[in-house]
Each structure stands twice: as structure tokens, then as C-alpha cells.
Amino acid sequence: MQRITDIQEMQRTADRLRIEGKRIGFVPTMGFLHAGHLDLLRVCREQCDIVVLSVFVNPAQFGKGEDFGRYPRDPDRDEALAASAGCDIVFIPNSEDIYPPDASTRVEVEGLSELWEGRFRPTHFRGVTTVVSLLFHIVKPHCAVFGQKDIQQAVIIRRMVRDLHFDIEIIVAPTRRENDGLAMSSRNTYLAGSGRSDAAVLSRALRLAEQAIAGGERNTAMILAIMHDELAGSPDIKLDYAAVFDAETLEEIIVIDKAPVVIAIAARIGNTRLIDNTIVKGETIES
């Protein structure tokens, strides 16, 4: 596995691979890899000849008072894990190279970036779309893989790619879960003791919502009531939102009459913010 830190070297490498006719796949991450990231690498490997992983804790997507400083980092472990997952290139740029001191350009998907997570993290998605754009210009991939856990991010990236005519296929890979259902996240490392066991209630609430829909419930007020009931059993969980929304427009849904729809939860346990979601597909609605 090749390790690249220099932006121009990454661009020249991508140019060379493209001239050789190689299909370049890209998995952008903030590092501290877990099994969910390795799934993304495997999905990428199935679609592409060359798999590039980037590790960059992007300051622009953290708000004031968020966890940029304490976000977990372990680049040596990341490299070893990436190599074991068959990654070809790990790109670990310096923050000063990515953002010159007077950097002033931003890429923003209006509307979609202001909903749901955007209400709690008003500058977050602008930071994401800006860094993903510039990483696309550096890595020059044919396809890029994002995790379903950050579903709003994936929807916004798809919209950005369409609007700005990036010639890149966006793949969204399923969420990897712990044995008790907790969606894997680098931030789970913040959880300890009862917080860790409480965290599983998010995925339990999502499963109950899915079961209600499979059982014929179409009224989202009823579905959300079931979720709130389940969450109420864990009083240390502070809910930011539970919602059912359209998988493309992110608009709230009152009666489920088409698919796919997203059921999403965001909550806090102490200082740790957790998100999770499930996508309800057509076969569930039609059954």
C-alpha cells in the first residue's frame, strides 16, 4: 500500500492511473477506522481497480464547541487496517496544505444542508461539501463510497455531484452495527459504562418503526410515537429529533405512500452526539 501526503503527488498518481485505464475508487474518512470503514473499502474494491482511502479530520465541518480537538486519531493504526483491507493508496494530507491561511472558497448545497442535522450543526454540511469537492479534485476518482449512517451527508453529496456535474458515481454502503445494534462510529469511543449500553436504544427504536411499517402502519405520527416510547425507557438519552423523510428531498413525510423513505434519529448521551437511520424500501411499503 502506498502512503501519500502531498497533494500534487496524489494528483499525478491519479492522472497516471487514469491513463493506464484504471478505475479509481475513493473512500473519504476522518480516520480512526472501524469495521464500518472497512466495509466501505470492500464495497469500493468490488467496483474499482484502485482503492484510495483519505484520512483527514476536517476542521471546517466541526462547529464551535464541537469535538474537533478531542476527535479520536490514530493514523498508524488506520494505515495498518487499510492495508489489511486491501486498500491501494492511503492519502493523509496536512491541514495547512488543504486549507491555505486565506482560503475563502466554499461549496454549499442550499436547502438540504439546513434541514435535520443542519438545524443542530448549521455550518457542518458546508464544511463537508467543501472538503469533499476539493478531495475529489485531488484524488480524481471514478466512484466514491459513503456510509449510510450519515444519510443526510450522502444525500447532500449526491445532490452536489449532480448539480456541479462531477463525473463521479456515488455509492452508499450499508451501516455496520455492533452486536447490540449500535451503528459503528468513531465517536462511539466516547461512550462508556451505562452510556454505551443506553446507546443501543437508537437502533431498537428504528427496528420497532420498521416493524410497524411492515405491519401496515403508514401514519408517521404513530410510527414516531412508537419510537419515542422506546427512547423514553432510556432517560439519559436526550433526543434531538426522530423523523421520517423523503430519501432525496429530505422533506418530512406525514403518510408513507411511496419509497424509499428514511427513518432517522439523532440524540445525545452526555457530551456524545449519536445519529442512526434506516431506509424503508419499496418492498416493505408494498407488502
Catalytic residues: 37
- Residue 14 has, within 13 A of its CA and on its CB side, a CA count of 24
Please give the Cα distance from 223 to 90 (Å, whole number). 42
Interface stretch with its own copies, choices 54-62, 78-86, 93-101, 232-240 (CB under 8 A): 93-101
Neighbours of 17 (CB within 10 A): 20
| Candidate ranges 154-162, 216-224, 264-272, 276-284; the one touching its own copies (CB under 8 A) | 154-162
Min dist. Cβ of residue 76 to its own copies (A): 26
Of 35, 80, 164, 222, the residue at the interface with its own copies (CB under 8 A) is: 164
Which is closer to its own copies, CB of 24 or CB of 183? 24
Q: Least Å distance between CB 197 and its own copies?
A: 41
Q: Is 138 in the site for its own copies (CB under 8 A)?
A: yes
Figure out which of the listed residues 68, 120, 166, 241 binds its own copies, where binding follows CB under 8 A.
Answer: 166
C-beta of residue 56 within 8 angstroms of C-beta of residue 30: yes
Contacts of residue 184, defined as CB under 8 A and 6 or more positions apart, other chains included, come to 34, 35, 36, 149, 175, 176, 177, 178
CB of 27 to its own copies, least distance (A): 18
Task: Report which of 75, 88, 78, 97 is spatially closest to residue 6, judged by C-alpha positions.
Answer: 97
Residue length of the chain: 287
Three-state secondary-structure class, residue 118: helix
Q: Interface with its own copies includes 21 (CB under 8 A)?
A: yes
Q: How far is the CB of 151 from its own copies (least distance, A)?
A: 18
At residue 173, the 3 state secondary structure works out as strand
Residue numbers of the site for its own copies (CB under 8 A)?
A: 7, 11, 15, 18-19, 21, 98-100, 103-112, 129-130, 133-134, 137-138, 140, 159-160, 162-167
